[in-house]
Amino acid sequence: MKPVIVAEKPSQAKAYAEAFKTTKRDGYMEVAPDPIFPEGAYITWGIGHLVELKEPKAYDPKWNRWSLAALPILPERYQFQIARGKAQQFGVIKKLIQQTDTVINACDVDREGSNIFYSIYYHTGAKGKTIRRLWINSLEVDEVRKGFQQLRDNRQDLLLYQEAKARQISDWLVGMNGSRLYSLLLQEKGIREVFAIGRVQTPTVFLIYQRKKKLKLLCQSLSMKSKAFSKRKKENTKARQKSKQKNGKKRKRC
């Protein structure tokens, strides 16, 4: 059977395809028989996150309405869904994976790349497939071919996926609970806006606020120093003028 290569994004898939002779299809590329892939292969791609966590309302109707009484939002089991507008590409990947016995994770070599691949793979419902990992840091043709010749097993890849999945769920919990909590509490004080809270976003915004506050204080300090300097300069100018006037009077008397 032809192995299925899953890239993270179209540009990445295109870079892989340049290392082989390929034919463009709808949502994937077919690799012609090659010393690396004697029977050929298929290259397909995600579009970032094809699969995402479901919204709170999908778990319990009470979480559809923003209410302090409904918090915290803590599903017993987290569920995933196909991201809006990406069902067609997911369908292409699912069909290809179901027809093969070997799937190659060719997404980015990091936690997020592993998360994207396994989120798609598990959502297809595939079982019993051999999973290999492309582990390269360059998209140069020679490096791509070398990488496909030296595919790894997926032991380390699964660990990266578990780390990324834990981070993804924690982000979801912080966002869904924190955003509702702060927004509702502030609304009680008359601020009728939605405040998005995020594990990365909120601390980053606070750092920007601190920096802006320091710059404001710095500007005020520079302004005060500038005014003091100008005042001192004027005083010195007046003192010199008075000194000249006195010296002039003394010369006239002589």
| pLDDT tens for each residue of 195-217 | 899 888 888 888 888 888 888 77
Using the predicted structure, report yes or no on whether residue 61 has a pLDDT greater than 70. yes
Using the predicted structure, report yes or no on whether residue 249 has a pLDDT greater than 70. no
Residue 33: other Cβ atoms inside 10 A: 13
First and final C-alpha spacing in the chain:
117
Q: What is the pLDDT of residue 162?
A: 95
| pLDDT tens for each residue of 108-160 | 999 999 999 999 999 999 999 999 999 999 999 999 999 999 999 998 999 99
Q: What is the pLDDT of residue 70?
A: 94
CA distances from 188 to 185, 193, 198, 243 (A): 5, 11, 21, 68
Is the pTM higher than 0.85? The answer reads: no
Q: What is the pLDDT of residue 21?
A: 98
Percent of the chain with pLDDT over 70: 86
Q: What is the secondary structure of 89-121 as a DSSP string? A: HHHHHHHHHHT-SEEEEES-SSHHHHHHHHHHH
